[in-house]
Structure 1
Amino acid sequence: MADKPVPLTPEGREKLQKELDYLVSVKRPEVAEAIHSAKEEGDISENSAYDAAKEQQAFIEGRILQIEQMLKNAAIIETQAWTGVVVLGSKVKVVEKGSKDEEDYQIVGPAEADPAKGRISNESPVGRALMGKKKGDQVVVKTPAGERQLKLIEVK
């Protein structure tokens, strides 16, 4: 992941920056204090509070490095003039064949994907199938749950 561009929407970049700021200014000092307190208890060889704090510190430092790397390599997806074609950052509405239920998605890069919130990666099966398509197009998507036929009914 060292030099690979990380596609992010402006909102996604802001969210990562806020998480980074929180980890650096709040969580890192909290964990440092927890480690310091645990050390003051004496023998750290069998000190579970010390071990837990060190594990938390490793997790936080790893996440900080991960976010810094993503932000360093961010390729910000700017809102483009509406072309009617699905691109990174597009908001789409689809309906599955045989269903009347509409599904809303925003196509984002993998770092921002959150399917529970309707944010799907351009690298996911549905995201890949929709990229480059326009209103009225139909796509067949192979997912782990089986094949889906989707009709694109709106692109924003």
Structure 2
Amino acid sequence: MKTNLITKEGFESLQKELNQLWKIERPETTKKVTWAASLGDRSENADYQYNKKRLREIDRRVRYLRRRIEQAKVINYSPEQEGRVYFGAWVEVENEQEEVMRFRIVGADEIYGRKDYISIDSPMARALLKKQVDDDAIVKTPTGETLWLINKIEYSK
């Protein structure tokens, strides 16, 4: 189940994308559709068909973003979080093979295009929540269990 939690930065990013789509891309695409439609036969008009398809994609994404923004619960940093893993934390972990990973625990809408972000809904994040430095976390995945040691916890303030 997808949570509605989001960082302040993630919320601002969604709003920025929505504004870009609604105020810039959609009006431009609408003009292109109108222009292409004025040329006549739409059945063989590639400009018309492409831009009409793009307009549907924009509208679909705008609807999604509006719903997510409306439902989102922005979680701000709190000094009480220091020393433990909570939403928004940058965490460095190490496994028994001495492989080190560093990532930030964020909302599901924030992970796309970022290799250093993981969703709060992921097995890794769930296993790390409320733990502190030098604690072990057993991460249960479909391929089995892995033991991770928490090396460092930081928060963006």
TM-score for the superposition, normalised by structure 1: 0.88
Which residue is 1:32 aligned to? 30
2:122 to 111, 121, 124: 124
Counterpart-to-counterpart distance in 1, 2:50 and 2:86: 44
Which range moved further: 89-98 or 4-13? 4-13
Which residue is 1:55 aligned to? 53
Q: Deviations over 1:88-134 (max 9, x none)?
A: 111111011121x4211111111112474311001112111111211
Counterpart-to-counterpart distance in 2, 1:142 and 1:57: 42
Task: Note if contact 2:3-2:108 (Cα within 8 Å) is conserved in structure 1.
Answer: no
Counterpart-to-counterpart distance in 2, 1:139 and 1:114: 25
Ranges of 4+ aligned residues in structure 1 off by more than 6 Å: none
Which residue is 1:151 aligned to? 149
Number of aligned positions between the proteins: 153
Counterpart-to-counterpart distance in 2, 1:40 and 1:146: 60
Q: Deviations over 1:7-39 (max 9, x none)?
A: 110000111111111111111011101101210
Which range moved further: 137-146 or 17-26? 137-146
Gaps of 5+ in 1: none
Measured on the aligned residues, the alpha-carbon RMSD in Å equals 2.0
TM-score for the superposition, normalised by structure 2: 0.88
The share of aligned pairs that are identical, in percent, is 34
1:62 CA displacement: 0.8
Task: Note if contact 2:3-2:121 (Cα within 8 Å) is conserved in structure 1.
Answer: no
Counterpart-to-counterpart distance in 1, 2:69 and 2:35: 33
